[in-house]
Structure 1
């Protein structure tokens, strides 16, 4: 029996918000300003950053700082500052068609929640910059949920906050392995990867994605095809 969807949980950077290397740039600025990654060559540190895209930033910096949580906290604050600087310099833009895709899901009667590994201050800068305050139902950061991805906490917190009836009624979409793993661990009814961000099709498929889509605009048609969403969502 197919469980009708009630909630869609969407990642931000690389899934609904264009990244264009901003996350990597912010990591590099933070590393340079705090010395948090000095114990390894920058190329090695950058490779780890790419592998862990989508995870809580303080968790990534804790690894780079060899477990020093105080240093990781300083680096995370520097990252948030650097990200805000870059957004101020370059502006913020959606993945083409993302706002219309979100509105289509809402028009089909679904609740839409954005999740991210960013701190709330950065998350809210992006949402304000895009003018999405009235578009989405909720936005969550790791601090709101307990643990960041790949733990299931963000998805489960979205379910609890929106009073969704079951995990089977949740669909998620994200551009990273961590997004897919988080959705799978939460027991989401449908887990999709998108190819507009950090990780490629083989990685997303290997992580357990039910589908790997070109971008977030392909989510509603994929749900319609699987009879998880009424046809109105594609209009």
Structure 2
């Protein structure tokens, strides 16, 4: 005759299952994939406000900033490879490592970069670009609110992505030459006129050069996308606010 479990035994089993689930979730978040929310327009048109992305931790390996609470257990990075030019990466802001940023890797260690009349130059060579159809900013009902000039850039290795031009002759369209220091990266937003990135020094609120150990990982996939108009306090707005065509799509 089988013995019935006591209430205490049932409670212990439930607690143990919960502990295992939490440990697995934390392990995945720390060593495999971490979710991030896009709060700004600095990466338009690639990423919209309200996109939720999964960032792969193992692609670049691990540093203290990859770990929960960023404990200083070791220096530098381990078990990883270097970012590629064109990657969309999440990193810690060098001025305040408690703040996460997401930008595109444009400059590698030793690169010389410059913006000249809105054209990106890498090591003295202009990056190929072509004018494409305007980016259309739409409301949740699909109505076009604004059209923005859009270009496709192609990096020397063939990586292509789209960038926006909000204004002509903006301060970030003409710069001096930036030489990326060893062990650092130069990051830029795809929304070129609305991005505080490596073109702006840290002391002026920008990103500056990003140390390799501040990288968290590469953005791989949008797993959900929600119009900012949706409200957590109004569940009936959730379904209509979902951008179904962006869900579970890769990031280029």
TM-score above 0.5? no
Query: Relative contact order (alpha carbons < 8 A, sep ≥ 6): 1 or 2 greater?
Result: 1
Larger-gyration structure (1/2): 2
TM-score, normalisation: structure 2:
0.24
Larger relative strand fraction: 2
Larger relative helix fraction: 1
